[in-house]
């Protein structure tokens, strides 16, 4: 202990105190402050960059989700449109079928009525021809032989049966 | 990874440099015929451990038999009873036994065991008692630029150059190159491994500058002590005392209310115990903590120097029993390994001093927002902080 105290130099202590104070002051001013500030800045920069990357990633994910949603909506819309188109088509086909049926019916009726009138005309024509024929037959009969009753009767009978056939 | 391997590479280069110079120093600072007996070795080692007033590189014996000393003188600045006296240390002509008297400003100075004494008025030579203490001379306040002061100035300059160049690099680029790449992880290490965990996230910024300065100051000076220039700055008790007192002042000034409360009126203990605890805590804060800091650094570095020099001295002391080659070989092998350990110790002591300083500061600024856990009978359960404090 005595040796230690003897070795202790107050002068060196004072000089060292002054030098250390100066050194601390200079080091803080010219070295530690700028170095630590830069390090902190750099660390903050790195942290910021990481956060930005994270944000970009979530943004990207959101965007992708949005895209997916839009795609699905578009798909649904397309489905809807296709369905509608199919319905319209079916309706149109049904409509036109009905129309065609009505038209056909109408044509059928016209045809029937035309046939009827044609038939009437034909019957009238036949009647007139029959009348002419009867007149002609009668003429012939009258011209040929009105002598026998039997023959006359036979003739009338055969003629009548002919007429009935008509 | 790159940075780590760079650091290791630099350390290795430094190490190799140290050894090449160390072995060189053996043959130069301990010339044959001057320091060869055990007593001379002891004296030489003790002399080396002390601060010196001139920068002595080596000595040799000239052909004429005269001792020649190679080195350069340093300025001596004294505050004597007649005021300031300055002269170069060469005026003592390498005398260390009080024989050469230098007269300046009407005062007579002698150098005795690396200390400068002023002769009492009227005395013309130093008288000694049986224990070789001067009886008619007293010590003076010695502000000389001693070898230690040169070391401090050198290290201060190196630190300023190295770290201000690193600081400048950040102006231009985000990641430093060259030597800055070695320094940056060291700065980060002190900040993230010493300052931040010991002081706490909230307050560490304020004290990081001091801790960084002290860490590199001690480390580089420790390493400088391993070179053959023979610096022993961190082995000077005045230097370690100064460092410890700086830490003491910092944690005393920045101590908050809780800190003083825990020292002066410890909460959670019976009232009659409080004054006793206060005395213990005060002694701890103002004497034990700084004393442990200053003695730990001083003793470790001094011991390291003594061991390395003693092992080098094996070359002379065991010459008779082992032969020249055996003694030299043993000395080289042993001093090689001890110097390796000393390189580790140089870092370790710088780390311990800085970490303990940070811890003391951390204890002074800690915010006790956490309630200590109390057990059923109302006694505090020691939390990790208390346990940690017990180890110091």
On the question of pLDDT at B374 being above 60, the answer is no
Q: Which of A10, A32, A46 to mutate to test the interface with B (most CBs of B within 10 A)?
A: A32
On the question of pLDDT at B29 being above 80, the answer is no
For B231, list phi and psi in degrees, rounded to 5: -70, 140
* DSSP single-letter state for residue B272: G
pLDDT recorded at residue B7: 57
CB B302 within 8 A of CB B269: no
Interface contact A20-B238, CB threshold 8 A: no
Confidence of residue A4 (pLDDT cuts 50, 70, 90): confident
CB B236 within 8 A of CB A9: yes
**How far is B220 from B213, CA to CA, in rounded Å?**
11
Which residue segment(s) compose the domain that A15 sits in?
9-123
Measured between beta carbons, the chain B residues lying within 8 angstroms of A42 are 174
For residue B77, the chain A residue with the least C-alpha distance is A11
* Residue of B143, B166, B171 lying closest to A15 (CB–CB): B143
pTM, whole model, 2 decimals? 0.73
Q: What mean pLDDT is predicted for residues B138-164?
A: 92
Q: What mean pLDDT is predicted for residues B275-287?
A: 91
Measured between beta carbons, the chain B residues lying within 8 angstroms of A30 are 160, 163-164, 167
Q: What mean pLDDT is predicted for residues A129-141?
A: 81
Q: Which of A5, A15, A19 to mutate to test the interface with B (most CBs of B within 10 A)?
A: A15
pLDDT recorded at residue B45: 85
Lowest mean pLDDT among B57-61, B223-227, B257-261, B289-293: B57-61
Looking at every residue in chain B, the average pLDDT score rounds to 82
pLDDT recorded at residue B158: 94
CB B94 within 8 A of CB B85: no
Interface contact B159-A31, CB threshold 8 A: yes
Q: Which of B157, B231, B238, B290 to mutate to test the interface with A (most CBs of A within 10 A)?
A: B238
Asked if residue A105 belongs to a domain, the reply is yes
Give the number of domains in chain A: 1
Asked if residue A145 belongs to a domain, the reply is no
Burial class (CB in 10 A: 0-12, 13-18, 19+), B152: buried
Domain-by-domain residue ranges, chain B? 75-144, 148-370
Per-residue pLDDT tens digits for A20-61: 999 999 999 999 999 999 999 889 999 999 999 999 999 999
CB B4 within 8 A of CB B185: yes
B352: which 2 tokens?
Answer: 């311990």
A6-27 exposure pattern, b = at least 16 Cβ within 10 A, e = fewer? ebebebbbbbbbebbeebbebb
Number of CB atoms found within 10 A of residue B281's CB: 19
Going by their DSSP bridges, the two strands B75-80 and B67-73 should be labelled as unpaired
On the question of pLDDT at B33 being above 90, the answer is no
Confidence of residue B5 (pLDDT cuts 50, 70, 90): low
Give the CA angle between residues B213, B222, B241 to the nearest 5°.
Answer: 65
pLDDT recorded at residue B27: 38
Asked if residue A165 belongs to a domain, the reply is no
On the question of pLDDT at B223 being above 90, the answer is yes
For B79, list phi and psi in degrees, rounded to 5: -110, 100
**How far is B322 from B307, CA to CA, in rounded Å?**
20
């Amino acid at each position: 202990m005595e040796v230690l105290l003897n070795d202790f130099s107050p002068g060196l202590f004072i000089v060292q105190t002054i030098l250390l104070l100066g050194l601390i002051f200079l080091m803080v001013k010219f070295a530690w402050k700028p170095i630590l500030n830069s390090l902190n800045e750099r660390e903050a920069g790195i942290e910021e960059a990481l956060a930005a990357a994270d944000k970009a990633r979530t943004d990207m994910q959101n965007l992708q989700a949005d895209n997916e949603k839009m795609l699905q909506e578009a798909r649904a819309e397309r489905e809807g449109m296709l369905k509608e188109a199919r319905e319209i088509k079916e309706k149109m086909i049904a409509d036109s079928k009905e129309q065609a049926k009505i038209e056909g019916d109408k044509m059928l009726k016209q045809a029937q009525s035309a046939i009827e009138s044609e038939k009437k005309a034909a019957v009238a024509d036949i009647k007139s021809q029959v009348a002419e024929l009867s007149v002609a037959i009668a003429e012939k009969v009258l011209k040929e032989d009105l002598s026998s009753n039997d023959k006359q009767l036979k003739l009338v009978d055969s003629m009548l049966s002919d007429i009935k056939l008509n | 990874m790159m940075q780590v391997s760079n650091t290791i590479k630099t350390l290795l280069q430094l190490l190799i440099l140290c050894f090449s110079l160390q072995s060189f120093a053996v043959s130069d600072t301990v010339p044959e015929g001057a320091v060869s007996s055990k007593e001379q070795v002891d004296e030489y080692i003790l002399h080396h451990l002390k601060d010196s007033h001139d920068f002595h590189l080596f000595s040799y014996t000239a052909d004429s038999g005269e001792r020649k000393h190679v080195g350069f003188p340093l300025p001596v600045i004294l505050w004597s009873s007649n005021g300031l006296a300055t002269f170069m240390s060469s005026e003592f002509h390498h005398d260390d036994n009080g024989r050469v008297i230098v007269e300046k400003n009407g005062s007579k100075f002698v150098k005795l065991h690396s200390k400068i004494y002023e002769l009492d008025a009227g005395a013309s030579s130093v008288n000694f008692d049986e224990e070789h203490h001067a009886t008619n001379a007293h010590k003076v306040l010695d502000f000389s630029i001693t070898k230690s002061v040169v070391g401090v100035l050198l290290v201060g300059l190196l630190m300023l150059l190295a770290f201000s160049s690193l600081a400048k690099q950040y102006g231009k680029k985000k990641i430093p190159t060259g030597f800055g790449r070695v320094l940056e992880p060291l700065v980060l290490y002190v900040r993230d491994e010493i300052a931040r965990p010991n002081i706490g996230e909230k307050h560490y910024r304020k004290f990081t500058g001091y801790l960084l300065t002290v860490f590199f100051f001690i480390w580089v000076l420790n390493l400088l002590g391993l070179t053959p220039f023979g610096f022993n700055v961190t082995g000077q008790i005045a230097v370690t005392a100064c460092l410890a007192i700086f830490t003491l002042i910092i944690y005393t000034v920045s101590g908050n209310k809780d800190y003083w409360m825990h020292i002066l009126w410890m909460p959670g203990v019976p009232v009659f115990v409080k004054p006793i605890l206060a005395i213990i805590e005060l002694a701890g804060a103002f004497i034990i903590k700084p004393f442990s800091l200053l003695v730990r650094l001083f003793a470790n570095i001094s011991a390291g120097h003594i061991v390395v020099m003693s092992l080098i001295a094996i070359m002379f002391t065991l010459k008779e029993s082992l032969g020249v080659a055996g003694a030299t070989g043993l000395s080289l092998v042993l001093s090689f390994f001890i110097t390796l350990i000393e390189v580790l110790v140089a870092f370790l002591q710088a780390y311990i001093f800085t970490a303990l300083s940070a811890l003391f500061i951390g204890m002074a600024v800690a915010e006790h927002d956490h309630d200590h856990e109390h057990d059923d009978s109302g006694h505090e359960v020691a939390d990790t902080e208390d346990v940690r404090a017990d180890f110091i």
